[in-house]
Structure 1
């Protein structure tokens, strides 16, 4: 019998189908994607390295660790002075600032900086202190040398304030630690070496003053 006018034909509901489960292949791919790529071993046990906010440390080795489903290779670095151990992911070593000791010309440039004249900005000390601390925490020996040069006081110059002295000693200690590691000596001898360069700057200033005085006399 044909359907009554105005009424459509109601189709029976589709048969129930069980949901299709994904194959195991994508899960394997996802797991593989989480695994950190094999890094290049630029650091090895026994290397002296510099970490920006902690200074000179020693590499104990490279370990493989698992965290949050990821497999990572980390560089284990120890810092003897503050008895701290740091683990830096190998694939983030460069971005974190971890580096090997400054070689040859790079460190020599920093040492030569100590022989230059202090360059002190005419700004509030609080602002300059922040800039000095940022330079120290950069881990760059050239920037650290600039802090040492600018805050060093020669005989006859005004004494440093307490906060100036603290920042100066921190910068001097950081630079001396790296010089000592490069020269394979201790920090005391490294500081003596740095003072030699700072002494050359003092001699240069005295020579400039003497020359200026002589020019004034001639006039």
Structure 2
């Protein structure tokens, strides 16, 4: 590992922050905190109307990463096509696992949550908490697909939706 990973991210870069998904680095600023000068990435999450300041020296350590490669996007799409893997564990335990996957920032893990919680119209109803997790995972996946493909979220949502529909049709 190189001693300094400072130059890895630059202003205007899209990045993935594990707990919040895709954001854009607006700037890099210096701020004095308790007498220590810190260099911070200022990241805007426009959809959530939120701005986050992340110390540049901690970014990689906390799991901030660049957007996935097109290769990872296609792996995520392949994951969506797979058969849902639903463990027999209690819902509270499964919900916890799904949440960890969503917040891991790992696109494949997020795709697994979408796959496992996706329901077609004729399948059993989803509980409120299942729906919440499904929508959170779907939104993370869609935003990253949109950012990587340089498309808008509507086009990305259609792409993801088409994969889920084709999977349901094949089942």
Aligned-residue offset at 1:126? 0.9
Q: CA RMSD in A?
A: 1.5
Aligned pair partner of 1:177 in 143, 154, 159: 143
Corresponding position: 1:145 with 2:135 = no
- Cα distance in 1 for partners of 2:138, 2:17 equals 16
The aligned residue for residue 131 of structure 1 is 97
* Bigger CA radius of gyration: 1
Aligned match of 2:160: 194
Find the aligned partners of 2:33 and 2:131 in 1 and give their Cα distance: 42
8 Å contact 1:115–1:199 — kept in the other structure? no
Which residue pairs with 1:122 in the alignment? 88
Shift of 1:38: 7.0
Instruction: Give yes or no for contact 2:21–2:105 (8 Å, CA) kept in 1.
Output: yes
1:92 partner SS: coil
Structure 2, gaps ≥5 residues long: none
Provide the residue aligned with 1:102 in structure 2: 68
Runs (5+) with no aligned partner, structure 1? 1-36, 206-219
Residue in structure 2 matching 1:65, options 23, 31, 36: 31
Higher relative contact order (CA 8 A, sep 6+): 2
How many angstroms does 1:156 deviate by? 2.0
Q: Which has the higher strand share?
A: 2
TM-score, length of structure 1 as denominator length: 0.73
**Partner-residue secondary structure (3-state), 1:94:** coil
1:168 aligns with 2:150: no
Moved over 6 A (4+): none
Does residue 112 of the first structure (1) align with residue 78 of the second (2)? yes
Would the alpha carbon gap of residues 116 and 66 (structure 1) be closer, same or farther in structure 2, given more than 3 Å must change? same
For normalisation by structure 2, the TM-score amounts to: 0.93
